[in-house]
Structure 1
């Protein structure tokens, strides 16, 4: 009863503020304020406020939340035990989905030292559209 009265009073106050804003020619703010003010009134009229108040002050509802929490703890505990058993029984780590995909990055570096690399000529290329040496170097660096 008190919750419904408070929600109704908040709605009336919000509609009053909305009226003042509309009087001052701030119609967008007035419409937005009216929308926010009508939410508590709608909740009272649908009975949602009564349901929330009954749930909040009900020992049975709180016991139900406790049971749900205990069920969640049991689920998480059994999941942790299953993971631990699987790790002990397997005796090895999980295999990668594509173990050969990252093999080049795990091996020795194939890049030559800067002293061993051939020096590039200072002359510009005549056909820059067909020069894919930079792209090939990047692909080779990543093992593709």
Structure 2
């Protein structure tokens, strides 16, 4: 009841300021002030002021429990262990498959011709790690003097 009265008083004061601003023929500013001044009474009538108070009390109670209760710290430890296990499992799956998680190596298309000698040595140089051959890129760079 008291919060509704305070909100109504704030809205009334804001509407008075909006009226005085409109009296000076600054109608756009007066309209904005009136819109903002109607917020407190609207929030009180919708019950959001009481809800905000309950949220603040709940957060305060949780913060006090965070400091004072060891079970809350144990809960954070369990959450941290879950995150660590998830990351380790993801890392292990990537290492065991040899490819990024969720991606399989691309298979050649059915109609595409196979490259001959892509895994073999070219010009006396061994192929790069992972089966990739960069000799054509090296030739292009040498051609441009890079």
TM-score tier after normalising by the smaller chain length: 0.5 to 0.7
Report the more deviating stretch, 34-43 or 88-97.
88-97
CA displacement 1:85-124 (0-9 Å, x = unmatched): 3424654476254767xx9x98242324346xxxxxxxxx
Q: How far 1:26 moved relative to its partner?
A: 1.2
1:83 maps to 2:87: yes
1:113 maps to 2:117: no
Corresponding position of 1:62:
61
1: CA distance, partners of 2:21 / 2:133: 68
**CA RMSD after TM alignment:** 4.1
- Aligned CA distance change for structure 1 residues 72 and 35 (closer, same or farther; 3 Å): farther
Corresponding position of 2:37:
37
TM-score computed with the length of structure 1 as normaliser: 0.52
**C-alpha contact (below 8 Å) 1:10/1:40 kept by paired residues:** yes
CA displacement 1:60-105 (0-9 Å, x = unmatched): x834x979xx8787556413312213424654476254767xx9x9
- Aligned CA distance change for structure 1 residues 45 and 78 (closer, same or farther; 3 Å): same
- Aligned CA distance change for structure 1 residues 74 and 21 (closer, same or farther; 3 Å): farther
1:1-144 aligned at under 5 Å gives the runs 1-57=1-57, 62-63=61-62, 74=78, 77-88=81-92, 91-92=95-96, 95-96=99-100, 97=103, 107-108=134-135, 109-111=138-140, 112-114=142-144
Report the more deviating stretch, 38-47 or 82-91.
82-91
